Structure 1
Amino acid sequence: MSDSRIRKALGACALALLLTTSCAAQNGSVEEIESSTITQAAAVSEPKIEMTLPGTLAAGFQQFQASMKGHYGMAVVAVGGDDVVTFGDWTTGPAWSTMKVPLTIAAIRDSSANGGFAATAAITESDNAAADVLWAALGSGQEAASAVEAVLREGGDAKTVIPATRTRTDYSSFGQAEWTLNDQVRFASRLPCLNRVSTVVKLMEQIVPSHRWGLGAFNGAEFKGGWGPDTSGKYLVRQFGLISTARGQIAVALAAQPDSGTFSDGMAAMDKMAALISEHLGELASGKCSS
């Protein structure tokens, strides 16, 4: 048989190579991790074959993005896990109000007095004035930035830098921090396992009804949204959080930057991505923190 026929035969036979997510315990923080298939693909050296199996979350996301105009991203990983699975072409941008989660953790750790009204309003209502109070409570701009970064590092985000001063005069310095989808979902996957975060995680389950789009559709989800315009006025809409299943928890990060630039279109995209996750929840790896 000729070399070309051999290659074709190999390509026809190698239809699927499983791409699975699995998670290992990190520093003893995880006692149970579930592993399952996200998508299936094949690759042979010559010619290279790549394919996404119909019916998977990967295929669903491809169909979603093909039907939308703009840039969208999704990242998922088991709580405590390492194997982040990403979808879409959006990868990084300003954190906006999603950064209020590590900010509020830092403020409460600095003083339990910060765990009252300001913390509640900053998380459940995404109140900017309340978040500014928490930022100021941490000291100078550099001290506050360092405190928030310390929470991020503890949560497995080794790279994100918090500006000590405002880079855009009308918006908070912490909200303009560049936070990649991957770093955000890694932080989410460690969040419930960190010390002294229970107050903030509980508040993330009490988001006000008007902000309960996207991940808010999941019963008991602990999440936080963030949104805002770029310098041309076009909105980026983000969310990250935790979804509970019978097997454990899944960390999710979502981002939508519709070509229309409207906040409403960003919210609608979040709803569609959350619906996709719901349809394929059984495919996703989950984990639990040790008690």
Structure 2
Amino acid sequence: MSTLPKQYLRVAAALGGAALLLSSCMFPEDVQKDERSTVTSTTTAESSTPDQGVSADLPQAILDAVADVEADTGSRVSLAISSGVEQEPKFAGNLAPRQEAWSTIKVPLSIAALRQDPSLEPTMVLAITQSDNDAAMQMWDALGGGEQAAAAVEEVLAEAGVEVDVPAEKTRAQFSPFGQALFSTGQQASFAAALPTLDGAAPVLEAMGEVVAGQDYGLGTFEGARFKGGWGPDTSGAYLVRQFGLVGDTAIAIATKPADGTYESGQVVLTKIAQAIEPHLDSLDAPAGAAASSSTDPSSNNEKSETPTRQSGQEQPEPQPVQSPTPGQGQQRGPEGFSTIPAV
């Protein structure tokens, strides 16, 4: 819940103490959707100023594209882009970049687990491609759980120059401890740029290119993208939906809090952002980390790769929400989209 600005409190007093409950309300499942989009407009009192600001170094066309999606959908977005391991991330959007990691933390968790026990690779594949929670918890436990596992994940992140505090114990009873780590879009872009250089990351990167249908919205609309998504509700029930990964050699992290607070609308917003920025990605600086990426990925060659896109140059259809795959037998759908961690 956000603290209401002083000007709202003055209005409330003038109206005889009428409460302005803007950001603390729950978002009902039966919110009516606009027929042209699954996103509806909802006013919130939460700050819309990014922690790290908008970088003027991004092409103006990308800044404008993100602003247009925010205006059209009523959502708030944080976009961070890094063109290589030596490049500082550049930002666009009006959502504070520092948000809960949710399933995206499974990438460094997977690398840490495989370093300790390569036989966990099939478990890693489930955690990355299907966002399976039991698989993630199995890797967490294999690292020793608690402080030991948290330190192992933090070590992987630190190797990429990213400092993230990974909780050792649950901070919200129904969710995993590691999923509540605060992981900014800028940090995720930096981490993605460094992924090809990290020891043991190759099988994880390969799995990030095989995300299942139903989770392939947003960055998943780029052919050849290697990415991981995550989503979950805040304490009021409103969803954050996010992804990070590599599109060619360009590291991209995006997150949104959709206007109606639903996961489905978040999917649509991320797809709209991907489609809006796609024509402008070739205007970014040449990636400094391209050589490292080529040496790690056996399918790459020494030539600079073009940014892979789906139906590049053609008009894209209006994005529609993609429901998550139906969980397997005996699994229970959790609000984060991790299908199996029980609320305890």
Shorter-chain TM-score bucket reads 0.7 to 0.9
Q: Is the 8 A contact 1:79 1:289 kept in 2?
A: no
Specify which of 143, 150, 156 is matched with residue 151 of structure 1. 156
Distance in 2 (CA, whole Å) between partners of 1:107 and 1:87 is 33
Q: Is the 8 A contact 1:73 1:255 kept in 2?
A: yes
Q: Is the 8 A contact 1:98 1:225 kept in 2?
A: yes
Q: How far has the Cα of 1:128 moved from its partner?
A: 0.7
Q: Is the 8 A contact 2:66 2:77 kept in 1?
A: no
* Structure 2 letter corresponding to 1:277: I
Q: Which has the higher strand share?
A: 1
Q: How far has the Cα of 1:19 moved from its partner?
A: 5.3
Q: Is the 8 A contact 2:170 2:176 kept in 1?
A: yes
- 1:261 corresponds to 2:265: no
Which secondary structure does the structure 2 equivalent of 1:280 belong to? helix
Which secondary structure does the structure 1 equivalent of 2:175 belong to? coil
Instruction: Tell me what 1:4 maps to.
Output: none
Per the normalisation by structure 1, the TM-score is 0.78
Per the normalisation by structure 2, the TM-score is 0.66
Per-residue deviation, residues 23-71 of structure 1 (Å, max 9, x unmatched): xxxxxxxxxxxxxxx33xxxxxxxxxxxx5xxx1112222222222232
Q: How far has the Cα of 1:284 moved from its partner?
A: 1.8
Instruction: Tell me what 1:47 maps to.
Output: none
Q: How far has the Cα of 1:255 moved from its partner?
A: 0.2
1:227-238 to structure 2, matched below 5 A, reads 227-238=231-242
Q: Is the 8 A contact 2:75 2:269 kept in 1?
A: no
Distance in 1 (CA, whole Å) between partners of 2:281 and 2:259 is 28
Distance in 1 (CA, whole Å) between partners of 2:218 and 2:286 is 19
Instruction: Tell me what 1:289 maps to.
Output: 291
Q: Is the 8 A contact 2:115 2:200 kept in 1?
A: yes
Distance in 1 (CA, whole Å) between partners of 2:202 and 2:134 is 23
* Structure 2 letter corresponding to 1:68: T
Instruction: Tell me what 2:270 maps to.
Output: 270
Instruction: Tell me what 1:279 maps to.
Output: 279
- 1:65 corresponds to 2:67: no
Q: Is the 8 A contact 2:75 2:258 kept in 1?
A: yes
Q: Is the 8 A contact 1:258 1:265 kept in 2?
A: yes
CA RMSD in angstroms comes to 1.4
Q: Is the 8 A contact 1:236 1:255 kept in 2?
A: yes
Identity in percent? 40
Q: How far has the Cα of 1:281 moved from its partner?
A: 1.8
Between the two structures, name the one with larger relative contact order (CA 8 Å, sep ≥ 6).
Answer: 1
Unaligned runs of 5+ in 2: 1-54, 296-344
Instruction: Tell me what 2:198 maps to.
Output: 194
